[in-house]
Amino acid sequence: MNKFNAWIYRDYFKRPMDIILSIIALIILSPLLIIIALLVKIKLGSPVIYKQKRPGLNEKVFTIYKFRTMSDERDEYGLLLPDSVRLTKFGRFLRSTSLDELPELINILKGDMSIVGPRPLSVSYLPYYTEQEKIRHSVRPGLSGLAQINGRNIVKWEQRFYYDQIYVKNITLIGDIKIILKTILIVIKRSDIGESGVNSQIDLDKCRADIFKRSDN
């Protein structure tokens, strides 16, 4: 696909394709969504949907929707226990199969996200991107992306952001289709999963805080 055709797809066809695919997915998966919601309610309680602020296109903050995967277990002082403790067996299953991310189809329908694009990360990370890495916010964040089919969340931040930059500079229909198909295979295999606070990369703000502090001095 030449640059002109790639531009046409990115600016005029990618968003309509997101709308069509998200509607189809929501219709087909509606029984599964209802079942998961009921199981979350029974096993983890309310709220069933976990909401968090994430930066999207042009760093505009939106609310992302996911199925809840953690309990509200607290210590004797009323403080939440570590993530690794509150992440239940059922929650691990939802994460490893990416079923917890199905509510993001609503974000795609709303226009907050795309089927394919850089994954939306924490708002607290915004001050810690390099100028080159900020390009990831020049497109809508995705349900899956080039970084997710190349290690998901167990590779180093620099590598993940490298894949994000490559994707943003080379958005094509064929490329998006390949990412979608490879994502399905990875989810089926349940590979390259990192649990927060267990075996995933340290949070970006913690990872780069000292580096950015030294550069300011």
Q: Whole-angstrom distance between the N-terminal and C-terminal Cα of the chain?
A: 47
Question: For each successive 10 residues of the chain (217 residues), what is the average pLDDT?
Answer: 77 96 97 97 93 97 96 79 83 91 97 97 94 96 94 82 96 95 86 52 77 57
Please give the pLDDT value at position 187: 85
> Quick one: tokens of 94?
């939802």
**Residue 56: closest CA among 10, 98, 92, 108:** 108
Are 183 and 167 within 8 A, CB to CB?
Answer: no
The CA distance from 49 to 150, in Å, is 28
Sign of the CA dihedral 40, 43, 44, 47? Answer: positive
Question: What one-letter code names the amino acid at 151?
Answer: G
Residue extents of the structural domains in the chain: 3-211
216: exposed, middle or buried (C-beta count within 10 Å: 0-12, 13-18, 19+)?
exposed
Q: 3-state DSSP call for residue 51? A: strand
**Residue 115: closest CA among 142, 141, 136:** 142
Please give the pLDDT value at position 193: 55
Please, which residues have CB within 8 angstroms of residue 96's CB and are 6 or more apart in sequence? 190, 193
Count CB atoms within 10 A of the CB of residue 140.
23
Please give the pLDDT value at position 183: 92
Please give the pLDDT value at position 198: 47
Please, which residues have CB within 8 angstroms of residue 87's CB and are 6 or more apart in sequence? 69, 70, 95, 195, 196, 198
**Residue 143: closest CA among 204, 65, 196, 203:** 65
Please give the pLDDT value at position 116: 98
Question: What does pTM read for this prediction?
Answer: 0.88
Could you give the count of Cα atoms lying within 13 Å of 197 in the half-sphere of its Cβ? 9
Question: What one-letter code names the amino acid at 170?
Answer: N
Please give the pLDDT value at position 71: 85
Q: Give CA torsion, residues 184, 52, 135, 129, to 10 deg.
A: -120
Please give the pLDDT value at position 195: 52
